[in-house]
Amino acid sequence: MKQLFIVFILFGFSVFGQENKPKELTYNEFLGYVKKYHPLVKNANLEINKAQANLMMARGGFDPKIEVDFSKKQFKDKEYYSILNSSFKIPTWYGIEIKAGFDNNEGIYLNPENTVPNQGLTSLGITIPLGQGLFINQRMADVRKAKMQMQLSQSERKLQAIAVLYDASLAYFNWKKNFNEVQLYEEYNRNSQIRFKGIQSLISQGDKPAIDSIEAGIIVKNRILNLEDANLKLAKAKLELSNFLWLENNIPLEISDELIPETQLEFTIQESLKTNDLLQQDFSILNHPKINALQSKIDILNVEKKLKANMLLPKIDVGYSYLSEPSYIDNYQFKDYKIGLDFYFPLFLRKERGSLKLAKYKVQETEFLLDLEKVQLTNKINAQKIEIESLLKQKELIKSLANDNQLMLNSEERLFSFGESSLFLINTRENNLITAQLSKIALENRFYISNSELFKIMANPD
């Protein structure tokens, strides 16, 4: 009976009442909350809305315009002049502008240049740029760049969202790691308490020396200290994780004590992060958000370069307007017209040539970055795949190591029950087992982080 009592003490068997199973907050469910409600993810989505607003602004450069200029001078019962100039302008894509106008001027001191028929004067004309602005101008460049900015914003949204999801994942893994450590220390704390009481009972019966109670008490105090420190880390991990949990209307959430991390995370993480397919097949970086973002920047810079090159051409604007009185609807008198020619050309073009060179350098600089990013992404992906494969092997080794330490502890406890071992050796075996199990928890955490880093490199949050 005494031997059975000692075995009961050493193994630390205890009976607990059935309790309600705690609710798991799975990793996939957690990521769903972050994607949908986190403020920084919402900010990332706003980048697309901002790009759409910029595109609308750029297209506004082609909006038709109504202009009215009216001035009148009346002094000492004399109407010096009354001048009305109104127009309706329609800008078109290739810099051509169509303009319809109506002028009605009168007065004693009216400038002869402004003299028009009594019913006013209508005009319908067109202005064509023959040099600068025909094939590309500022309005065309703004619209093209705004469309490219839409693509750039899509890529930047993914990069911003992936950064938030990566940080959230690290917080979740840290929560799970500290939770597992608390569970581990709670188990061995219970065992040390049971063992301590059993040793005290054996000492009172004269079967063990009194010094064994000191050694058993030291272990109890160490286990309590370890558990307290683990609980502190777990509390901080919960608060850190709560930073990423939100609801609609920007309502923050807090992790309750009833929630626990996913217990089978090691079997589901690769499916949740979609890294399992990448480990089995090659990943094309051509559609990577970083590559797309740099390519969009190059496209925008190329539009700017074309605009700067266009500035080397002379500015030649030719305008023609057909003139008629409002009553002459069916009588087209093409001999009544107004034409204009504007010419401008700097002799040395130093400003324009300098601007074009700077634009070319910016394109080359971004192209160098693009080539570098392609190589870096490829190497990062390959390195991460190698790391994950290595961690999978290490996980199997650490599991085997922990099992071996468990067998050694069980064997030592059996020897102790026969009086052929000591409490010191049991504690040594148990410490080795705890170290192996802590290493197992740490290695699992590295495995989770490595998968999330691969997820971050892939940059595909959708």
Q: Are 269 and 28 in contact (CB under 8 A)?
A: no
395 is a domain residue: yes
Q: How far apart are CA 303 and CA 148, in angstroms?
A: 10
Best-predicted range by mean pLDDT among 213-227, 281-295, 443-457? Answer: 443-457
Same domain, 195 and 265: yes
Same domain, 263 and 231: yes
Query: pLDDT at position 318, please?
Result: 93
Does the pLDDT at position 4 exceed 70?
no
Same domain, 226 and 170: yes
Give the residue, 136 or 9, on which the prediction is more confident.
136
Percent of the chain with pLDDT over 90: 44
Nearest Cα to 447, choosing from 381, 390, 383, 377?
390
Confidence band for 212, pLDDT divided at 50, 70 and 90: confident
Q: Are 70 and 84 in contact (CB under 8 A)?
A: yes
**322, 349, 376 - which closes a domain:** 349
Confidence band for 6, pLDDT divided at 50, 70 and 90: very low
E-state strands within 182-282? 246-247, 251-252, 259-261
Q: How far apart are CA 278 and CA 454, in angstroms?
A: 9
Least confident of 28-42, 145-159, 327-341, 400-414: 327-341
For the chain, what is the domain count?
A: 2
Confidence band for 210, pLDDT divided at 50, 70 and 90: confident
What is the mean pLDDT of the segment spanning 404-418? Answer: 85
308 is a domain residue: no
Same domain, 405 and 382: yes
Those residues with Cβ within 8 angstroms of residue 197's Cβ, 6 or more apart along the chain or in another chain:
9
List the beta bridge partners of residue 260: 24
Q: What is the mean pLDDT of the chain?
A: 86
Q: How far apart are CA 39 and CA 126, in angstroms?
A: 51
Does the pLDDT at position 11 exceed 50?
no
Does the pLDDT at position 421 exceed 60?
yes
380 is a domain residue: yes
Same domain, 196 and 78: no
Same domain, 146 and 228: yes
Same domain, 227 and 363: yes
Q: Are 102 and 68 in contact (CB under 8 A)?
A: no
Same domain, 204 and 321: no
Domain encompassing residue 320: 65-134+314-349
Query: pLDDT at position 331, please?
Result: 59
210 is a domain residue: yes
Same domain, 264 and 149: yes
How far, in Å, are 60, 277, 412, 431, 441 from residue 405 at the CA level?
74, 35, 10, 9, 15
309 is a domain residue: no
The reported pTM is 0.82
Angle between helices 423-458 and 350-417 (to 10 degrees): 160
Percent of the chain with pLDDT over 70: 92
CATH for 170: 1.20.1600.10
Same domain, 91 and 155: no
150 is a domain residue: yes
**pLDDT digits over 319-377, tens only?**
999 888 876 555 556 678 889 999 988 888 898 899 999 999 999 999 999 999 999 99
Same domain, 186 and 93: no
Query: pLDDT at position 287, please?
Result: 85
In single-letter form, the type of residue at position 217 comes to: G
307 is a domain residue: no
226 is a domain residue: yes
Same domain, 148 and 47: yes
What is the mean pLDDT of the segment spanning 223-236? Answer: 94
